[in-house]
C-alpha cells in the first residue's frame, strides 16, 4: 500500500535541488531558485501551488506561478535584424583590419 502511495506522489519542483544544496552540492541559478521556492513554501506541504508573493524578487521564476518566465521568444524579424547587425559589425572590423575609429585594435 505504501509503495503505491509513494509511486503516485508527485515530485515537487525544487525538492531534489534543495536536497542537493543541503548535501553541499553546487547549484545553478535556476536550481537555486527552485530550491529557495521549495524551502520558502515549506516544502509545499499545503500542495503544489503559486505562493502569490508578488513582491518577492524570485516570484517571476517561481515554479508554480502561472505567469512565470519560460524562456525568451524572439520573432523571426528580430532575429534577422540581429544577424544583419552582427554582419555589419563584422564587416567594419574586417574592413578596418581589426582597428576601430581611433586606429586601435579591437
Cα 10 from chain centre:
22
Contact yes or no for 13/63 (Cβ under 8 A): yes
Q: 66 vs 34, 43, 69, CA distance in Å?
A: 15, 19, 9
Tens digits of residue pLDDT in 31-77 = 999 999 999 999 988 888 888 898 999 988 888 888 876 666 778 89
- pLDDT over 50 (residue 105): no
Contact yes or no for 35/61 (Cβ under 8 A): no
The full set of domain ranges for the chain reads 2-61, 73-106
pLDDT of residue 106: 47
Contact yes or no for 71/84 (Cβ under 8 A): no
* Mean residue pLDDT across the chain: 81
Amino acid at each position: 500500500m505504501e509503495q503505491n502511495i509513494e509511486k503516485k506522489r508527485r515530485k515537487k519542483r525544487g525538492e531534489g535541488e534543495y536536497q542537493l544544496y543541503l548535501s553541499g552540492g553546487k547549484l545553478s541559478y535556476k536550481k537555486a531558485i527552485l530550491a529557495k521556492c521549495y524551502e520558502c513554501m515549506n516544502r509545499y506541504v499545503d500542495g503544489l501551488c503559486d505562493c502569490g508573493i508578488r513582491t518577492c524578487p524570485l516570484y517571476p521564476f517561481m515554479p508554480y506561478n502561472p505567469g512565470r518566465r519560460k524562456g525568451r521568444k524572439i520573432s523571426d524579424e528580430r532575429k534577422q535584424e540581429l544577424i544583419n547587425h552582427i554582419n555589419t559589425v563584422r564587416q567594419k572590423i574586417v574592413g578596418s583590419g581589426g582597428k576601430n575609429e581611433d586606429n586601435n585594435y579591437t
